[in-house]
Structure 1
Amino acid sequence: MPPSRPTRVALAVAAAALLASATAACGDAGGLQGAGATPTAISPDRLWPGLTPASSPAFAIGEVETEVVKGVTVPGGDIHEVDPVAVVRAEIAAKPGDYGPGAYEVTARRMSACGKGGEAGRACPVLKAYYRDLTGDGRDDMTLGFRQLPGNLTAVRVYTVRDHRLVQIMAYEDAVSGVELAGHSVIIRAPSEVAGYEYRLQWTWDQQQRAMLLTHDEMLRIGDPRRSPAPHASPSASPSASASGR
């Protein structure tokens, strides 16, 4: 049985006394050496303490965006049976203002190539869907992406199933250079205008909001700016190979 806390303290005191006695008998050989002055801990300085705290956000960045996808069924409540192309078509149909006459209309026109084989099918903007339990309910959710024009943007969406209905729990688009799934998070990498750096955004499932929330937004160094080419918009996403597909 290990010694109790009072016993360990007594043993430590006795050991310290023996060490002091041995040091006095043998001079300074083997004695403890000072490591120098310890830096003083500095607490953060609070700026403008008289500033009136804001009570509402100045800009809406879509922290919580969930919506039922209309016109798409979930056979047997199994998200694997949902057609990703049908999901993207439903989004385009639900937002005619976004995909109507104009630059984004090209994306809508390219949807006609989906399902075709050979060279014609390569024009389909919908990327491969990936399946993983991101909400922690023991069932797979669906992460899909599709290319948007102009700007070579990639739209990233996450869907779950509630009461046999398909629900979008995350939506984001950017000039994406990579997408990863880790735990209950979606990590999106995007090129920065600063050479040698990239943006990394992490969206994580929040049980209280029942949505994916933007929990991290940072700029990170990825290499030597003298060797890194100027960042540019990437036309495709690179989903993590660890995600399970079907």
Structure 2
Amino acid sequence: MNSRRTCTAAAAVTASVLLLAGCGDSGELRSAGPTSTAVGPARLWPTLPPASAAADDYGSGHTEVVKGITAKDDDIHRVNPVDVVRAQEAAASASPSPSPSPVNVVGLDDCGTEASTKCPVLKAYYRDLTGDGKDELVVGIRLPKRQLAVRCYTFEDHRLTQIMGTSDAVVSVEIAGRDVILRAVADLPGYEYRTAWSWDPHQRAMLPTRDEILRTGPPAPPTQPPKPSPATPTASPQNSPTPSPPAQTR
């Protein structure tokens, strides 16, 4: 039996036999090269006292019950998104306390029974974001200054509840799995903010679980110094014409 058939037969045996017999290999361990030493995190300013208050957020963890909106069998597909936004705006206008849904939606009067390009409430989408097997309602609302509000709703205890609300200079909105991913304009040219909102069963709300800034375009060209204006050409000494001798007078 030649060496090739021997190796082919040996491939069918267990790994332990392969280590003992081998096929054209000594079976010895080989070094994969030097490995960098693991370095643990170094805590900076260990004596710094903890914060006494949370930082300002932009709607994370806020929920809001939308009063006056119901649907048969809590079927969220039967809910009219425009009616939801109108109910929230009316409630926010009548309430003296701040609301996670600010009163800045304009143009709701242009939202009729037929589709209108002037209506600020965009087409609704339905996805299971909480993992309970039922769809949630995802609504986009055009705001002034080219801002976009994104809100998600679900039925809890037969009450329509907003479980997510945020607004930004949004570039695009995507749903990946059960995450709502927002891409927004960054302050740095060639970059964008990307935030993934995920359902948190403890908070009973969508939370921004991942917030990052990513490179999206080519690097900005370096600033070039202004080129000097071309100088007036001067005659070189070797090419200079020989001056004529002065005229002689008698």
- Tell me if both proteins adopt one fold, taking TM over 0.5 as the criterion: yes
Displacement of 1:61 in angstroms is 3.8
C-alpha change, 1:76 and 1:48, in structure 2 (3 Å) is same
3-state SS of paired residue (2:218): coil
Contact 2:59 2:166 in 1 (8 A): no
The CA distance in 2 between the partners of 1:33 and 1:133, in whole Å, is: 50
Deviations 1:118-141 (A, max 9, x none): 7xx211101000001111111111
The CA distance in 2 between the partners of 1:211 and 1:189, in whole Å, is: 20
- Where do residues 1-246 of structure 1 align in structure 2 (5 Å cutoff)? 11=16, 15=20, 34-96=31-93, 98-99=102-103, 104=104, 107-108=105-106, 110-115=107-112, 117=114, 121-149=116-144, 151-226=145-220
More relative contact order in 1 or in 2 (CA 8 Å, sep 6+)? 1
Contact 2:60 2:165 in 1 (8 A): no
C-alpha change, 1:114 and 1:41, in structure 2 (3 Å) is same
Letter in 1 for 2:198: T
Contact 2:173 2:183 in 1 (8 A): yes
The CA distance in 1 between the partners of 2:32 and 2:179, in whole Å, is: 43
Segments of structure 1 that go 5 or more residues without pairing to the other structure are: 1-7, 24-29, 228-246
User: What is the RMSD of the two structures over their aligned residues, measured on CA atoms?
Assistant: 2.7
Displacement of 1:33 in angstroms is 5.9
Letter in 2 for 1:225: P
- What is the TM-score of this pair, normalised by structure 1? 0.72
Deviations 1:132-168 (A, max 9, x none): 111111111100111011x211010000012222110
Displacement of 1:199 in angstroms is 0.2
The CA distance in 1 between the partners of 2:215 and 2:141, in whole Å, is: 27
Letter in 2 for 1:133: D
C-alpha change, 1:183 and 1:13, in structure 2 (3 Å) is closer
3-state SS of paired residue (1:181): strand
Displacement of 1:58 in angstroms is 3.3
Letter in 1 for 2:162: Q
